[in-house]
Amino acid sequence: MIEAVSCGGLVIYRGKILLLYKNYNNRYEGWVLPKGTVEEGESHEATALREVREESGVDAAIVEYIDKTIYSFVVPEDTVSKEVYWYLMRSQSYDSKPQVEEYFRDSGYYKYHEAYHLLKFENERAILEKGYNMYRRLKRQQKWD
């Protein structure tokens, strides 16, 4: 078994959530949250911020840690067990630019219910739900500007 660690972000601007549309040779396609692999010597927070910036062009700021998801998938040579650490992030604009080198074909900010139904993976919908509840709590407490 191959073990992998990634980090990503639930990026929110004015109540809307950043999503990326990935299409890899018409074999893998769907809407996802930005995330990527931890590089040697890099903290989870630094990875999450870097991956959001690389995959979407968005300079976000971490607000809080949301949670970790764990899943596995099969590649030709083995099975990969992956842990993903997720952070609630804020952005300063709706601007985004998908990283075409990583097969991202579109990006944008969506209302909660739109994002929930667009997301390809159940574990990312769970992160969306948990992170968006955190965002709403912070808004009520006037800790989100």
Domains and their CATH numbers in the chain:
2-140 (3.90.79.10)
Cβ atoms 145, 92 nearer than 8 A = no
Which one, of 41, 59, 40, lies nearest residue 49 by Cα? 59
User: At residue 100, what are phi and psi to the nearest 5 degrees?
Assistant: -65, -30
Question: Helix, strand or coil for residue 50?
Answer: helix
Higher pLDDT, 77 or 117: 117
Q: What is the pTM of this model?
A: 0.95
Residue 145's pLDDT band (cuts 50, 70, 90): confident
Residue 20's pLDDT band (cuts 50, 70, 90): very high
Residue 124 has what pLDDT? 97
The DSSP symbol for 112 reads H
Residue 25 has what pLDDT? 80
The DSSP symbol for 98 reads -
* Mean pLDDT to the nearest integer, 64-84: 94
pLDDT above 70 covers what percent of the chain?
100
pLDDT averaged over every residue in the chain? 95
Cβ atoms 38, 47 nearer than 8 A = yes
Is 80 exceeded by the pLDDT of residue 38? yes
Which one, of 55, 36, 45, 56, lies nearest residue 88 by Cα? 45
Tokens of 112: 């909660």
Residue 16 has what pLDDT? 98
Is 90 exceeded by the pLDDT of residue 26? no
